[in-house]
Amino acid sequence: MSTHNFPMHFGFSIKPLSRFFPKISKGIIKRLIYLFCFIFILFPAMNGYSEEQDRLTKEQKKILKMDLAELMQLETEITSVSKRPQKIKNAASAIYVITQEDIRRSGSVNIMEVLRLAPGVLVSKINQNRYAISIRGFNRRLGSDKLLVLMDGRTIYSPADSGVFWIGQDYVLEDIDRIEVIRGPGASLWGSNAVAGVINIITKNSKETQGLLVSGGRGTEELGFVTARFGGEVKKDFNYRLYAKYRDRDEGKKLDNTDSFDGKKIGQVGFRSDWEINNKDTLVLQGDTYNLDADIDVSSRFVSLDAGSAPFKGSTLQTGANTLMRWTRTLDDSSSLKLQLYYDFLRRNSLLGFDNKIHQTDLDAQYDFLLGKKQNVSMGFNYRFVDFDFEKTNITETPNRDTNLFGIFINDEFTIIPETWKIILGSRFEHNDFTGFEYQPTARTIWQPKPNHTFWAAFSRAVRIPSFQENDGRINRALVPGALPLLIKEDSDGEVTSEILLSYEVGYRVKIKPNLTFDFTSFIFDYDDLIEFKAGDIFFESNPSPAHLVLPGSNDNIFEGEIQGAEISIEWQATKAFRLTGSYTFTNIDLRATGNASSTVTSSTFNPDTDFDAENEPQHIFNVRSYLNLPYDLEFDSLFYFVSENSARNVSSYNRMDLRLGWKPSDLFELSLVGQNILDETHSELNELLEAESETQRSFYGKLTFNF
């Protein structure tokens, strides 16, 4: 592990239950947990918890005074579906919002765990510092190469590897306003790579984060985490906030119960300012920078043959920085103009021969206006410049280059029958240096025969452009041990084309009662030209030593197939003190090789056709959450999360339950005690070919928050 200096650990220790009760069996612990959950979760729902509280915080009083309809998902305002404000019930897309209250009461300490709350999102933890997060299939280490993730409109999707390096994504959870999760294509507005979905993490206006916040804690796996944030006012309508945070995550356990090598330390600082210049113009400036030191444990060194197939343990040192400016002008005729510019920098030093630097600059402009009385039009353009700087080693030889992406879009919402029927037509047109011109249209309709009922349908075409390494990569992908080691060697020729998705979706939302909502979506994804490794003929090679076999190949568009599924979510405000939400997701994947696919190697430890593994990804995801306000300012919350088996990766189905007991006597102070994965001591969620897996462990931590 690197010897970088980090702040001292903050908080207090909470020992596992097994240390307090070493003679109690796992079965008894589980029965006690089930009984505990029944008494404090189900019993209030069946008998009706008293709506009168002795003492309530200002926030709780505000919530209890609200009309229950205002608490439901359908009334939440969003911006990600049409790039302008609208309510969920008026969106012709599968959309779900994780609110700040959901985040606070989830007991999560990072964004990745928070995303378990959204229906249709598969969150898989590979080890203590690596996650794979996907929507509607293709759950990989980088977190689905078909999922676009944004932070306040800034993409954190990596153009080098097609995916998100979740290891470096962090933020002050208390300062996130909401997370909007779109299941399904968003490419007609957001562009290439918004194929299977869009996750937009939206932070609070600095006007809402005034004063000092200090938060921190410690636990069995969370060795220490601390956040400090201060917000102030430069002058009237000109506010700012500054923050710093640090987190130290302990190493986990391997399948044989020995210690793994996957700890992580990350420190981050940042700022945001919001200036309402006048009644028409607003200006946002924000930026962040972080440093992380994460352990990495791989089965071989990827492989420079002088190291043979020996396992490798070392550190991934990663640095990131970004800055963003967004100017918005509201015009007199209900139209608006927005201009956004950001710069993003990433540097990775992994000691494995994959060191690189990436500089990315993005300019985006958007104009919204009314055309007549029945058309709401959005149009804009985008330019992105990326500078790739890869270090050449005996493991990889990827050429350095600059890339450019140009895009324009137009989206027109026609009102056919006021407040009843609308049609949305739009498309994005792009040009990139890898595949040239791309078009990504959509046609959507929304029908609301009654105010509480919404039917919608959509057809979309979306593309994923090849990553830098898929297009030009020359890399030793893996070394399979054996009497004669097998070296998987990739030498791409730059001839790959974009992956294409034709998407068909239908949905129905209904507010059954003022306190009960139901949301259903069904979809068919038709994929073509999926990119994968195309193997050549195996040959023997003695130099460089040791003697070994070589499986050459390159990336090519050699797969196609369909993904079908359905997603259901329900939200029930049983009483003003008790809320219950749940979701179920079914996904069926059918992929096949096209005529371009060649023969591949068969091995118990390696399968080049990794995308065929997607056919056997979990078909079922289920979660249920409860929020309960107890007397004496106590809060009791739970999350139950079920994922069916992943037979391709030999990962069994698993259940997970997280519990949180909170005490918030005032807006100035909050104490939380959290137990995660309490139903079993350990379980696996996902494994990868090269990187060592560790199991998700039962863990406990405590957290204190002061807000002045």
Residue 551: pLDDT band (50, 70, 90) is confident
Residue 143: pLDDT band (50, 70, 90) is low
**Mean pLDDT confidence for 411-427:** 94
Query: pLDDT tens-digit profile of 579-609?
Result: 999 999 999 999 888 866 554 433 333 343 4
CA–CA separation, 428 and 437 (whole Å):
11
Helix (H, G, I), strand (E, B) or coil at 245: strand
Query: pLDDT tens-digit profile of 184-205?
Result: 999 999 998 899 999 999 999 9
- DSSP states along 635-683: EEEEEEEEE--BGGGTB--EEEEEEEEEEEEETTEEEEEEEESTTSSEE
The predicted pLDDT at position 689 comes to: 66
- Decide if pLDDT at 14 tops 80: no
Residue 242: pLDDT band (50, 70, 90) is very high
Helix (H, G, I), strand (E, B) or coil at 47: helix
The predicted pLDDT at position 307 comes to: 54
The predicted pLDDT at position 478 comes to: 72
- Chain-centroid distance of CA 188 in Å reads 20
Average pLDDT of every residue of the chain: 83
Query: pLDDT tens-digit profile of 607-617?
Result: 434 445 677 88
Helix, strand, coil distribution of the chain in percent, nearest 5 = 15, 55, 30
- Decide if pLDDT at 447 tops 60: yes
- Listed in sequence order, the residues at least 6 apart from 302 whose beta carbon sits closer than 8 Å to its beta carbon are 312, 352, 353, 354, 395, 476, 477, 478, 479, 690
What is the DSSP pairing of strand 197-203 with strand 147-151?
parallel
CB 411 within 8 A of CB 378: yes
Q: Which residues pair with 176 in a beta bridge?
A: 203
The predicted pLDDT at position 55 comes to: 42
The predicted pLDDT at position 334 comes to: 78
Share of the chain above pLDDT 70, in %: 83
- Decide if pLDDT at 298 tops 60: yes
CA–CA separation, 336 and 333 (whole Å):
9
The predicted pLDDT at position 321 comes to: 95
Of 6-20, 119-133, 581-595, 598-612, the one with minimum mean pLDDT is 6-20
Q: What token pair was written down for 645?
A: 């088996």
Query: pLDDT tens-digit profile of 646-677?
Result: 887 888 999 999 999 999 999 899 999 999 99
Backbone angles phi, psi at 9, to 5 degrees: -65, 145
The predicted pLDDT at position 324 comes to: 97
Backbone angles phi, psi at 585, to 5 degrees: -130, 130
CA–CA separation, 551 and 537 (whole Å):
6
- Decide if pLDDT at 392 tops 80: no
Helix (H, G, I), strand (E, B) or coil at 175: helix
The predicted pLDDT at position 597 comes to: 59
Round the CA-based radius of gyration of the chain to a whole number and report it: 25
Most confident of 157-171, 464-478, 647-661: 647-661
Q: Domains in the chain, ordered, with CATH?
A: 17-707 (2.40.170.20)
CB 501 within 8 A of CB 185: yes
Q: What token pair was written down for 41?
A: 């979760």
